[in-house]
Amino acid sequence: MGNARIVGTSVPRFEGRAKVTGEALYVDDMVLPGMLYGATVRSRIPRGKILKIAFSSELDWSEFVIVSPEDIPGKNCIALLEDDQPCLADGAVNHPEEPILLLAHPNRYMLPKAISAVSVQYEPQPGVFTIEESERKTEIIWGTDNIFKSYLIEKGEVDEFWEQADFIVEGEYSTGAQEQLYIENNGMIATFDRQQGLTVWGSLQCPFYVHKALMKLCNLPAERVRVVQMETGGAFGGKEDYPSMIAGHAALLAMKSGKPVKIIYDRVEDMVATTKRHPSRTRHRTAVSKDGRILGGEIEFTIDGGAYKTLSPVVLSRGAIHAGGPYFWPHVRIRAKAVATSAPPQGAFRGFGAPQSLFALERHMDRIARVVGLSPVEIRKLNFLKPGQTTTTGQVVREEIDLEKLLDRGLELSDYYAKKQKFQDGNAENNYKRGMGIATVLHGAGFTGSGERYLASVVAVEVCADGGVRVLVSSTEFGQGTKTVLCQIVAEVLGVRYEDVGIAQADTHEVPNSGPTVASRTVMVVGKLVQSAAIGIKQTLVASGMLVDSYSPGEFRAACRAYVAEHGALRSVARYEQPEDIVWDEEKYRGSAYAAFAWAVYIAEVAVDPTTYNVSVEDFVALQEVGKVLHPVLATGQIVGGVAQAIGFALYEKVVWEKGRMQNGQMTNYIIPTSADLPSIRVYFEELGNEHGAYGAKGIGELPMDGPAPAIINAVEDALGVSFDSIPLLPEEIYDVMHEKLKRDELRSVSGAE
């Protein structure tokens, strides 16, 4: 590693020039001859039977292509984990905005008119709109019990430690839905012809998820379905599963009309109809010794999955496994479940369940500290996981992580103690109430448990006729820098210039399936495979005698050209094989959940305006151990961007629900942080390395979503002396709680008690 030339430096972003000149092509920038525009007629009620669909006589419907469930050549479903979500509602709807019918027309401006000229008559049925309503089972809306999935994680003697407890600390915490709000709305273009089959181009994260869904929906063999990712304007998990739905819709319209069809959502449709972060509720009951050690606990983690199963079991799994955080639990029982409600299915969003359960835990740690009479720093230090100890799933921590040291460094960088003292001394007199909050978290990189083994990702590196090399993966770029980092890795292995390495567009006809671009797995897992494939190229060239062990980039290029001239092609393929020390028991949910964890300390300084109850984050320190940082500028960008989204999650971003439908599906009234709202976000790395990742890298993208929200709410408690356990925490919620407190204090002084 000491001699790395390219890895660890901030080379120019691979597609950066195209992005700063406006030349980068997103799906809405693409026009095909004779193209129609498609739109979706959606459910206006949460749940009910469809009795009749009527078309107003005001429009000439012969100009439109109309697709209903009868037009589906294959199975009416979006294939993912289970086939329970229909592509078009057939006879009944289960959530507001559920797709019912598809329309296409050559003139895009005709579509809004046409949508409102279709009227659907329903026989409404009662909906279920909260976790509690779903649990009551008065209405069964999914399966036999409204439960998509449940897990039980048990470690130690889960019922026997309560008697030894000096304190039993309980708490209930909740998090709201959060919209991904990528700035590029969802969109797809599809074409179909009998010879070539179906091709779709779109804004998406996972080409092979779309491919699988289209095969089943359109009843086509693999080779007759082609999925191409266009430049994608942000995703954050929001383009993991729903693009399969839109691709399906565009495909059905294209198959029926024989013409290319483009579907581009407008902002409202994108916000009200597509997935968001799962709302959650977490209950903690923890046994603690008088000196502050966690003896054991029970954690109940519940997420609201919306109307169909989609990705909820996987989100639940990650949330449950992260629920114990970076602490040692000698005994613990974690019960997790995902329940159904009559809302559009919730989905993937950066962190994928972990931000929810870690919000609860990191608030709960501060509560435990208060009960025991220790500081938030002391309670964490006492309970941090140490190398050799086991996580809640029994995974032995093999990394040489020293969380106490990491926390101390974070405290120093944020000037924690001095500020905390200053605020404590000054808050009574000062107008603004200030506070400091910390959160310490971990995030597992890659698919959970045996997930990577089942994925069995494949990558290739090939030599081009001109002597350049090219990476072939289905891993997609949507801002993180996928293309840049994978090219860096290959250039490093092969000893060539970064500029000599290319990467193919993610096109299922061109690239092998390197798995979905999710779960902080790309640099670590796919990067490692790309590294192996590149080593294969070098070995083949050396074995052929065309390359000597030590060579210049020019000699490498010449050897590549010579090899291709003689043999026609040179391609090196690498397939994932699970390391032997990673063993996972899917039944009992025990074992090595992740090949590596990233670790972080997040420290927030807040100021609360006691008149408006506006909370502003004044300073933010993000310190993390993420293995080797392969590209400092990109890595820093990932952390800052994640922290910014998490500040929104904590303080601004509230989805207002009414009978399962988002009421504020606009940027005007769903508020994300602007450049004027954010503090200076200061990013620091520790680099321990990681044997399982390319050049020692770990996953990085999701980690910064996990810690900031609890750090901020902990700081608000520090400032106001009042506890808040639910996010987003808007000024009106603070007002309600402060107002109640004021009334209680007044009553107490009037009655003269104490």
Instruction: Catalog residues that contact other proteins under the rule CB under 8 A.
Output: 10, 12-13, 15-26, 28-29, 180-185, 231-236, 266-267, 478-481, 633-634, 636-637, 640-645, 666-668, 672-676, 678, 680-681
Nearest CB to other proteins, comparing residues 675 and 751 = 675
State how far Cα 748 lies from the chain centre: 47
Nearest CB to other proteins, comparing residues 182 and 589 = 182
Strand ranges (E), 267-376: 280-288, 294-304, 332-339
Could you give the residue ranges of the DSSP H alpha helices within 352-429?
A: 354-372, 376-383, 403-414, 416-426
Is residue 302 classed as helix, strand or coil in its secondary structure? Answer: strand
Q: How far apart are CA 63 and CA 499, in angstroms?
A: 50
Task: Kindly give the pairing relationship between strand 596-608 and strand 433-445.
Answer: antiparallel
Q: Residue with structure tokens 């199975």? A: 75
Residues 6+ apart with CB under 8 A from 32: 189, 191, 260, 262
Nearest CB to other proteins, comparing residues 28 and 300 = 28
- Residues in a beta bridge with 193: 197
- Evaluated on CA atoms 128, 173, 386, 439, the torsion sign reads positive
Judge residue 393's burial from the number of C-beta atoms within 10 Å of its C-beta, 0-12 exposed, 13-18 middle, 19 or more buried.
buried
Minimum CB distance to other proteins, residue 666 (Å):
7
Q: Residue with structure tokens 């401006």? A: 109
Q: How far apart are CA 584 and CA 582, in angstroms?
A: 7
Nearest CB to other proteins, comparing residues 184 and 717 = 184
Q: Residue with structure tokens 């567009």? A: 505
Minimum CB distance to other proteins, residue 182 (Å):
6
Minimum CB distance to other proteins, residue 680 (Å):
7
Nearest CB to other proteins, comparing residues 75 and 682 = 682
Nearest CB to other proteins, comparing residues 541 and 634 = 634
Nearest partner of 250 among 228, 235, 280, 282, judged by Cα = 228
Q: How far apart are CA 308 and CA 340, in angstroms?
A: 7
Nearest CB to other proteins, comparing residues 236 and 447 = 236
Nearest CB to other proteins, comparing residues 205 and 356 = 205
Nearest CB to other proteins, comparing residues 18 and 548 = 18
Nearest CB to other proteins, comparing residues 167 and 684 = 684
Nearest CB to other proteins, comparing residues 21 and 195 = 21
Tokens of 505: 């567009």
Cβ–Cβ < 8 Å for 396, 388: yes
- What b/e sequence results for 613-644 when a residue is b if at least 16 CB atoms lie within 10 Å of its CB, and e otherwise? bebebbbbbbbbbbbbbbbeebbbbbbbbbbb
Nearest CB to other proteins, comparing residues 31 and 753 = 31
Is residue 197 classed as helix, strand or coil in its secondary structure? Answer: strand
Nearest CB to other proteins, comparing residues 112 and 373 = 112
Minimum CB distance to other proteins, residue 141 (Å):
32
Minimum CB distance to other proteins, residue 675 (Å):
4
Nearest CB to other proteins, comparing residues 202 and 449 = 202
Minimum CB distance to other proteins, residue 710 (Å):
18
Nearest CB to other proteins, comparing residues 58 and 429 = 58
Minimum CB distance to other proteins, residue 113 (Å):
11
Nearest CB to other proteins, comparing residues 72 and 634 = 634
Q: In what order do the strands lie in the sheet with 99-105?
A: 65-67, 99-105, 36-42, 261-264, 187-193, 197-202, 225-229
Query: What's the DSSP call for residue 13?
Result: P
Minimum CB distance to other proteins, residue 30 (Å):
9
Tokens of 176: 């709201």
Cβ–Cβ < 8 Å for 247, 176: no
Minimum CB distance to other proteins, residue 644 (Å):
3
Nearest partner of 346 among 306, 384, 378, 377, judged by Cα = 306
Q: What backbone phi and psi angles, to 5 degrees, belong to 642? A: -65, -40
Cβ–Cβ < 8 Å for 208, 241: no
Minimum CB distance to other proteins, residue 63 (Å):
11
Cβ–Cβ < 8 Å for 519, 314: no
Nearest CB to other proteins, comparing residues 297 and 648 = 648
Minimum CB distance to other proteins, residue 8 (Å):
15
Q: What backbone phi and psi angles, to 5 degrees, belong to 591? A: 120, -155
Minimum CB distance to other proteins, residue 638 (Å):
9
Q: Residue with structure tokens 């708490």? A: 171
Nearest partner of 501 among 491, 493, 511, judged by Cα = 491
C-alpha separations of 247 from 37, 200, 223, 419 in Å: 13, 7, 17, 52
Tokens of 191: 């074409």
Minimum CB distance to other proteins, residue 108 (Å):
9
Neighbour count for residue 289 (Cβ, 10 Å): 15
Minimum CB distance to other proteins, residue 673 (Å):
8
Is residue 458 classed as helix, strand or coil in its secondary structure? Answer: strand
- Evaluated on CA atoms 66, 69, 71, 77, the torsion sign reads positive
Minimum CB distance to other proteins, residue 667 (Å):
4
Minimum CB distance to other proteins, residue 622 (Å):
10
Minimum CB distance to other proteins, residue 41 (Å):
20
CA angle 575, 520, 591 (to 5 degrees): 75
Element containing residue 158 per DSSP (H, E): none
Cβ–Cβ < 8 Å for 253, 36: yes
Nearest CB to other proteins, comparing residues 64 and 478 = 478
Residues 6+ apart with CB under 8 A from 156: 296, 329, 330, 331, 332
Minimum CB distance to other proteins, residue 15 (Å):
7
Cβ–Cβ < 8 Å for 377, 407: yes
